Amino acid sequence: MNIGPIDMVYCWCDGNDPAFQERKNYYLQQEKGTHDSDSVGNHRFADNEELRYSLRSLTMYAPWIHHVYIVTDRQTPRWLNTDYEKVTVIDHSQIMPQELIPCFSSSIIERYIVNIPGLSEHFLYGNDDMFFGRTIVPEFFFTSAGEPVVYVKYFEKFKRIEDLADFENKYNSASTWMKTNLRAWHLLYKNYGKHEFYVSAHNIDAYRKSLFQEALKKYNEALSESMHYRFRNENDIERCLFNMDAVYNGHGTLKLVETPSFWKKHIHKPKGYSWVCYCGSEDEKTRKQICRFEPYLFCINADSKGQLEDKQAMRAFYEQLFPAASPFERE
């Protein structure tokens, strides 16, 4: 496959930074009552140097990545080797309207990553808590024609939405994050009439810049209406809108990620079997699952109830998986 360079984009912040905390607390007061505590809790912004280890995983398992862009707001990881020719720190002010800064909602920030100067047509996007788990090739993310492969999964409670009344019932009982997925489904339903309901596999995603830009224009009105808040809330629209639009308009390939059966999980794992995309929390179960199933990609979600010892255990786990410093780190 020869589709040209493939870049990697990360969103990152250091929630431990006093200046960041001051900005966050000020704007939280301005938007008081518009979001739930889980959406704006400190665990959403805490930095356990996951990005350091994600870049180690990239170096180990996806060395073909052309360039890495780290999108952030007036911050730079203290350990980052900014002289390394394969990395560029992109400040929000370089890609976002000034009136939206500071912004603490990843779903808003993600809409502007296609404005990164020099970003390749084909790129991957992930949060700093997403990792490459084993050797991976470009064909995992893009077809031979250069179209993105879109990894999704079913939401356990429902796989299909029958009509708009069914949508309203499900929306009214959903969590904040699930509502952002349902809002994306609603827009896709109006354009394509598709009843299936998928959510992102919540791992590193593949995009084509031109398709992303087309979707931004297509859904501009709805996206603009969701940009009145600086923090994540139920009016956001999940980024699965962009890659599912590519699938439905014939420029993307859908791949359904299935959880291993009870038999595979607990009794017998077939030789050579790997979980394609795994998403877990900062706990021992997650660490065991990753070691057992060796996923190609995995994400470690911060736990609102997590303790310092959980962070320490995860840090040791990252060091175990990715022990060698990468060129992205200062000596």
Residue 69 inside a domain? The answer is: yes
Residue 14 inside a domain? The answer is: yes
How are beta strands 253-256 and 205-208 bridged, if at all?
A: unpaired
Buried b (16+ CB within 10 A) or exposed e, 262-277: eeeeeeebeeeeebbb
Residue 328 inside a domain? The answer is: no
Residue 331 inside a domain? The answer is: no
**Spatial CA neighbour of 13 closest among 81, 70, 95, 67:** 70
**Spatial CA neighbour of 222 closest among 200, 190, 247, 194:** 190
Task: Please give the tally of structural domains in the chain.
Answer: 1
Residue 92 inside a domain? The answer is: yes
What's the burial of 230, exposed, middle or buried (CB within 10 Å: 0-12/13-18/19+)?
buried
Give 294's Cβ-side CA count (13 Å radius).
Answer: 10
How are beta strands 149-154 and 297-301 bridged, if at all?
A: unpaired
Q: Tokens representing 191?
A: 């354009």
Q: Tokens representing 309?
A: 């010892």
**Spatial CA neighbour of 129 closest among 19, 49, 21, 37:** 49
pLDDT tens, per residue, the chain with 331 residues: 678 999 999 999 998 899 999 998 898 888 776 666 665 666 677 788 999 999 999 999 999 999 999 999 999 999 999 999 999 999 999 999 999 999 999 999 999 999 999 999 999 999 999 999 999 999 999 999 999 999 999 987 788 999 999 999 999 988 888 999 999 999 999 999 999 999 999 899 999 999 999 999 999 999 998 888 888 888 899 999 999 999 999 999 999 998 888 888 878 788 888 889 999 999 999 999 999 999 999 999 877 676 788 889 999 999 999 999 999 999 7
Q: What is the pLDDT of residue 169?
A: 92
Determine contact, residues 233/176, Cβ cutoff 8 Å. Answer: yes
Q: Tokens representing 254?
A: 């859908």
Residue 46 inside a domain? The answer is: yes
CATH number assigned to the domain comprising residue 213 = 3.90.550.10
Amino acid letter, residue 41: G
Residue 57 CB partners (closer than 8 Å, separation 6+): 131, 132, 133, 321, 322
Q: Tokens representing 2?
A: 């020869």
Residue 326 inside a domain? The answer is: no
Q: What is the pLDDT of residue 36?
A: 65
Q: What range defines the domain where residue 81 resides? A: 6-321
State whether residue 229 is helix, strand or coil: coil
Give the span between the Cα atoms of 192 and 170, in whole angstroms.
Answer: 20
Q: What is the pLDDT of residue 82?
A: 97
Residue 281 inside a domain? The answer is: yes
